[in-house]
Amino acid sequence: MYKRITKSHFFRTFSSLPNLTSCITTLQSSATNINLHQGKKLHAYMLINGFLTSPISITSLINMYSKCNAISDAFLVFSSSSTSNCELNVFAYNAIIAGFIFNDMPKPALRVYQRMRLAGVTMDKFTFPCVVKAFSGYGDVVGFKIVHGLVFKSGVDHDLFVGSAVVNGYLKFGLMADAHKVFDEMPDRDVVLWNAMINGYAQIGEFQNALECLRKLRAEGNVPSRFTVTGILSVLTLKGDLHNGKAVHGLVTKMGYFSGIAVCNALIDMYGKCKSFLDALDIFEVMAIKDIYSWNSVIGVHQQSGDHEGTLKLFDRMLRDGVFRPDLVTVTTVLPACSHLAALRHGKEIHGYMITKGLGKDDDDTYINNAVMDMYGKCGSMREAQLVFDHMTIKDSASWNIMIMGYAMHGFGHEALNVFHKMREANLMPDEVTFVGVLSACSHGGLVKEGQEFLSQMESRYEIAPTVEHYTCVIDMLGRAGLLEQAYGLLSEMPIKTNSVVWRALLAACHLHGDANLAKIAVRKVIDLEPEHCGSYVLMSNVYGTMGRYEEVSDVRHNMRQQKVKKTPGCSWIEFGNGMHVFGTGDRTHPDEELIYSKLGSLYMSMGLCQTT
DNA sequence: TTAGGGTTAG
């Protein structure tokens, strides 16, 4: 083994065989460059040459393994040293605790900390930042406060690194007043400490205070860092403040921070959420180096702009690009685009991708599985939605609501109510969304009696005040069932403000049952509440059309022209083979038009209807 | 020899 190592190319980089000092220097470079291969060779060499009795070697090896994503090896070095003749000192404890924190493992970090205390090793200003982070990461507020006490006792409370960690810890627990007290008592403040406060205020939505911190930070002569910029951008994003967002964009240019990927990602997000979509896309395109956040943010931009096709195109580009694999965040952004477009094939592909990559298989992946279920539901595949639902170990109220809504949407009223009853059996309290689903299930399934009962139970039994959306479902339900007077009565007696949507539901019912008199009342209300909406004029003209009152049809059309209301032609589409097929009213442009209309004709025949087109 | 801060999802 020794002979093979000494002959290797690796050792030719040294002018003579490395001594302890050069081993440690090289271990540091292995850690910085994440070169595990080089680090392991040095480890072997040091073992053979008896260098591992030095505490410095142990610390350097622990650090190298921690930084090279080999935390278990780091812990092995730590544990085996305590049993050998090398006594563990504060450096070794600090290094392994830091290693666990670096690898986002607060629990084992805390176990080592307890061991360190039992061993009577005195903690120093290097121990505390990591231990503090371990307690806040593990969510142990009592332990965290005890350590804060020890910070005082050890006299390191004025150290900037310790102070920043404590402030961040309190902020993580949502204890702003305590964080502020620690911040105020610090004799010196650097940009990192200020950044902690900026982010703390951002988290609790106190945007003005966050911006005030930025002002004070600069007034005290600190230079905003890349981290300050991302923190402030997150504030402006939540505030929807495009004006100041653009000013920060200027600052980024001035400071030369464009090289920071996170800064650019924050700018993309800010422009996207502030609806300045082209600016967001521009930044993404000019970024020399992108990461998974860049892709996810810009995919989010397409979603926010309502460009669902753009979202799918970008997803394809990401796959073709091949540098970053879609993660949970990516698929949660792309799945709703499939739902909107009813793009079942794309949705299935993404679900398939998730299965092969093991995404969404964990118990707590409820959110992503909800998105998959919603996609199947909106694309009309309730069987698949039910399968996903059945396999989920943890279901939240959204999971149940999605199933109820899915069945309701496709007219499976009884199935929807069945899910609702099972939800109750599972002791989950229904919310507003649940009842929108339940009531639309009653409406689409013609379950009038049940729907009326649910509306009355909402407040008395579930303490949920019905909103205009709930009333709309019920009015739609009564209207579809031909109970127009009852629908009108409910609408007139509604204890909350009506809107154009609920009146339009009544209008649609008037069309269905040919009640021109009630339609007139409804249409007046709709036009009053939303004059620019074309749907109500069209419905009114259809009501007259069905009754053969063509003069009135022409009056409505004339009125529409006078009001400069334009009707956007409606269309439907279906995914088939490799493409999307779009159809407008009376559209005969499809290449398979003859075949399609002949099939349509035979379907009409089977349904006992005459072909009208 | 050892340490602290930022971005993404309905």
Query: What is the tens place of the pLDDT at every residue in A128-152?
Result: 999 999 999 999 999 999 999 999 9
Nucleic strand B contacts from chain A, 347-406, CB < 7 Å: 367-368, 370, 398
User: How far separated are the first and last CA of chain A, in Å rounded?
Assistant: 86
Q: For residues A307-322, give the mean pLDDT.
A: 90
Q: For A228-285, what is each residue's pLDDT tens digit?
A: 999 999 999 999 999 999 999 999 999 989 888 999 999 999 999 999 999 999 999 9
Pinpoint the residues of chain A covered by CATH 1.25.40. 1-122
How does pLDDT run across A585-594, given as a tens digit for each residue? 777 888 888 8
**Rg of chain A in Å (alpha carbons):** 33
Binned at pLDDT 50, 70 and 90, residue A540 comes out as confident
Q: Cβ of A248 < 7 Å from strand B?
A: no
CA-CA distance, A498 to A493, in Å (whole number)? 10
Count how many Cα atoms sit within 13 Å of the Cα of residue A374 in the half-sphere of its side chain. Answer: 23
A26 touches strand B (CB under 7 A): no
Rounded CA–C1' distance between A27 and B5, in angstroms: 26
Asked if strand B comes closer than 7 Å to A193 Cβ, the answer is: yes
pLDDT tens-digit readout, A143-198: 999 999 999 999 999 999 999 999 999 999 999 999 999 999 999 999 999 999 99
Report residue A578's pLDDT band, with 50, 70 and 90 as the boundaries: low
Q: Quick one: average pLDDT of A40-60?
A: 91
Among A16, A260, A534, A496, CA closest to A233: A260
At the topology level of CATH, where does A1-122 sit? Answer: 1.25.40
A59 CB below 7 A from strand B atoms? yes
pLDDT higher than threshold 80 for residue A293 = yes
Q: What is the dihedral of CA A127, A128, A134, A135, to 10 degrees?
A: 140
pLDDT surpasses 90 at A576:
no
Task: Decide if A437 contacts A451 (C-beta within 8 A).
Answer: no
The three-state secondary structure class of A584 is strand
Nucleotides of B under 7 A from a protein CB: 1-10
- What's the Å distance between residue A166 CA and nucleotide B4 C1'? 9
Who wins on pLDDT, A488 or A594?
A: A488
Output the pLDDT for position A12.
Answer: 58
For the whole model, what pTM was predicted?
Answer: 0.81
Q: Which nucleotide is nearest to A94 (CA to C1')?
A: B2
- How much is the pLDDT for A548? 78
Q: How far is it between the farthest Cα atoms of chain A?
A: 105
Per-residue CA distances from A170 to A182, A183, A297, A391, A534 (Å): 9, 11, 29, 39, 54
Nucleotide nearest to A295 (CA to C1'): B8
* Strand B interface, A 200-239, C-beta < 7 A: 225-228, 230-231, 234, 237
Secondary structure class of A274 (helix, strand, coil): coil
Task: Identify, with chain letter, the residue nearest to nucleotide B7 (CA–C1').
Answer: A262
The pLDDT assigned to A612 comes to 45
- A59 nearest nt, CA–C1': B1
State which residues between 306 and 345 of chain A bring their CB within 7 Å of strand B.
327-329, 332-333, 336
Residue A349 CA distance to nucleotide B9 C1' (Å): 19
Higher pLDDT, A538 or A137: A137
CB neighbours (10 Å) of residue A247? 13
How much of chain A, in percent, has pLDDT values that exceed 70? 92
For A497-508, write each residue's pLDDT tens digit: 999 899 999 998
Lowest mean pLDDT among A2-6, A59-63, A68-72: A2-6
